[in-house]
Structures are given as C-alpha cells and as structure tokens.
Amino acid sequence: MSTAAAAGTWRLGDLEVNRVGYGAMRLTGNGIMGNSGGTPIDRDVAVRLLLSAFEQGVNHIDTAAFYFSPLRSANELISRALSSWHDDVVVVTKVGPGRDPSGEWFTMARPDQLRGQVEENLRQLGRDHLDVVNLRRNGPGMASIAEHFGALAELRTAGLVRHLGLSNVRPEHVAEAQAIAPVVCVQNSYSVDWRRADESGMVDLCREQGIAFVPYFAVAGLRREAAAAPEQDARVHTVARAHGATPAQVRLAWTLHRGPHLLAIPGTTNPAHLAENVAAGALRLTEEQLALLDKPGGADA
C-alpha cells in the first residue's frame, strides 16, 4: 500500500512533513469554508478516518476553528483522533476570518482579536501551542497585512505559535510578512485549471525562498469552491487512463510535480478516496504527460 511518504517530505520551519497531507474542512459537512452545506459524517467514523490517514503516513493536517457545523467541529475531531495516536502530526490552522457561534461570518478580525482566535484553536485542539498558524487574507480590499501579521508574530514570540504562514495572498504580501517574521508556507488556490499562482510568480517565489506552497481546491477544477465535478478535461482523462488512475489522482500528482516545495491537502470523508489521495503521491507523470496537461487552451492561467 502506498503511503504519504511516497511523494517525499518538506520542512515547515523545523517540522518535517510528508508532502501528501489532509484538509479537514469536509469533516463538518460539504459546505464552503465550514458552512453547513451537507451532512457531516458520524463522529466516531470521522475519528477513524483521521486515524486511518495517520496510519497511511499523513502527518500534516490543515484545519481552522471556523470549520464547524451545528453538529461538528473539525478541530475537536482532530483533537480526539490525536489523543489516541502515538506519532507526531503537524496541525496547521488559520486565523483572520471568523464565525460567531450561530455560524454567521464576520469579514476579518482586527489585529487585537487574533489572540482570541489563536486561543480558541488552542482550546479546541487541546494544545499549549500551535504548530503553524496561517493568516488568511480575506478579500482584495485588504491591501496590507503588516499589522495583522505583526500581531501573530508577537504571539509567536510569546510561545503560543511555533511557525507562521499566509493564505490567499499575493507576492507583495509575502515580502511584507517576511520583513516581520519568517513565513513557512503559503496557501493559495491552485490546480491544473487554475494557475494564477504561476502567473503572479507565487509558486516560483516560494521555491526561491524555501517556503512551502500549499494549494487548496487542487482537485476541484474551475468549480473551486465545490466538490470536484465529474472530470470534463479530456487531457486529464487521457493521463489517468494511461496510469489506471483517477482524474483526481492525476490532478494531485500534477500539483506535486510542480516542485518539491508543493504540498497537497486534499480533503474527503470517504476512506476509499483517502487511500486514492495518498496513493497519488506515488504517481509519476512522464514529461510528455506533464506537457499535455500544460498545453494552453484548457486551463485558466
């Protein structure tokens, strides 16, 4: 059986992780960014799924305190699974946007509110410090992240946070943050069909600076906020047939082939899909197949 180690490892600061990880958003239902848009799986089933991921070598989990539905909290499910697991797992969470207990969103926390968000993640995860906290920039109106990132840097100095990252940002935000404290990862939307991170230079920038680039919506195509639709891209199908793989596996493999600093965080509530996602780390695409997937015309750059 393939394990998450098949794709190799990368370091988030001093924390080494396998390049195939797991995104926890779907544990609470199938809604967008934690909104309740589907039925969450049973709590015990969710914990068993997480333990299965750990057994398959997944040691990098992406989550957030705002991943919750009326019945489930992703952080608390992760905490329960980790309580019975024997090896280290790096948990990456994010702050910035938030939701009140009723589920209503507020656009962006003030810098002085970020400590409360960090402490809520600590409480839910049952930890005395967070491995990695990403500042998620919420919307194009947020021109500067310096004040918010500076507030997180103070929490890092205080020992509540080990490492810092960014989400939904542009290259100028990385430079702004790096002038304040080290950035170990950047999470942006990126896939075969959605390559703005190439056009902006973000993927190359992260490689040059030793920063992990962690795509979200990597398997969803242009329907980025939804679960992956039946694959319509004939080129992905062609490559998938050649390997006896699924289109989702090809998409994940393409992501991992973009550079050793790219990490995958696919999410699922299906044990079979979990195994497929992990196995995608062992899928080796040929130069001809990569060229086929990179042909202009089908992908939104």
Q: Give the residue numbers annotated as catalytic, written as ranges.
A: 67
| Residue 195, SS3 per DSSP | coil
Please give the Cα distance from 5 to 10 (Å, whole number).
10
Strands (E), 110-220: 130-136, 161-167, 183-189, 212-216
Q: Round to whole Å and give the CA distance between 252 and 178.
A: 28
| H or E stretch at 287 | helix 287-293
* Radius of gyration over every alpha carbon of the chain, rounded to an integer in angstroms: 18
Residue type, 111: P
* Closest C-alpha to 257, from 294, 211, 296: 294
Q: What would the two tokens of residue 54 be?
A: 């750990």
